[in-house]
Amino acid sequence: MRKGLTAVLAIGALTGGVATGAAPAAASERHDTTSLAVHATGGAVTLSRHSVHAGRIRITVDTTSPNGSNVLVFRPARGVSLATVLADFAEEFSPDPATDAKGTRDLTRDARFYGGGDVVPGTPVTVTENLTRATYYVADLAAPPGPNGPQLQTLVVRGENEESSDWPGRGAATVRLTSNDRFLVTGRLHARGSVVVANVSDTLHFMDLQPVKPGTTDAQIQAYFASGAQGQPPFAVNGPTAGMDVQSPGRRAVLSYSLPKGTYVLLCFVADDMTGMPHALMGMHKVVVLT
């Protein structure tokens, strides 16, 4: 699987330099412009704009990195510095489970996570959500650790929220991310379409879609994780993946994507806030069929 535990560990890269994109003058900007394109390269992101009006925003994410990209939108909680949040990230992806658990607790308290796109080349996704006035950061957390990455870009959201009828989640299936580390699926997931992803828990979660062989069961996936195996799972198949990156408790956003029809598993690898164990190993996996 592309995103095994090692891929999640790579999020520790968020200790590198911070490149803050300047917010351009907004005099000529129209208030109804709510689309933003984020292009990721595995170490950096470029934004089509650094300032948008508050309200519903469509964020289209693509990557040219062969290993894929995990593009995340976040901001420090009120009164918390960016440096503190970056230090929390370093905890989250330490090799020590107790430190990982503390990282999840600290990140839940110190930052707000608005999801984002987990993408591979050729399979962009769009995340639609409501953003209120604040300064946000956008980063590709797939960047390797080091002084050069990943780079953060700023996204300034200005003004008061405006109503918008452009809500792709209407009528779409919903996946709830729950406090007992489960995916609760309501409705039918399509190979090409939108899904509402709602974190109704008290901790952080993300949701990735990975293709698996037809007939794969959650029992087989649990048995694989319980075995401690590190190699390619017997149920894995090659194919594009897509996902919604980390969301804070109470957040919801819509993930729009186009994947081949077939069987997939929803996975989350955030560290448990008590044990440090990745949620997937505690049962946060759910086999679904995209039709």
What residue ranges bind Cu ion (CB under 5 A)?
205, 268, 270, 279, 284
Q: How far is the CB of 181 from Cu ion (least distance, A)?
A: 6
Q: How far is the CB of 276 from Cu ion (least distance, A)?
A: 13
Q: Which is nearer to Cu ion, 268 or 287 (CB)?
A: 268
C-alpha 17/C-alpha 214 separation (Å) is 43
Q: Which is nearer to Cu ion, 114 or 154 (CB)?
A: 114
Shortest-Cβ-distance residue relative to Cu ion:
268
Q: How far is the CB of 279 from Cu ion (least distance, A)?
A: 3
C-alpha 168/C-alpha 228 separation (Å) is 39
The CA angle 270-262-37, to the nearest 5 degrees, is 60
Q: How far is the CB of 144 from Cu ion (least distance, A)?
A: 23
Q: Which is nearer to Cu ion, 36 or 281 (CB)?
A: 281
Q: Which is nearer to Cu ion, 50 or 205 (CB)?
A: 205
Q: Which is nearer to Cu ion, 11 or 284 (CB)?
A: 284
End-to-end CA distance of the chain: 22
Q: Which residue has the tokens 């995990």?
A: 70
Q: Which is nearer to Cu ion, 53 or 182 (CB)?
A: 182
Q: Which is nearer to Cu ion, 249 or 262 (CB)?
A: 249
Q: How far is the CB of 113 from Cu ion (least distance, A)?
A: 12
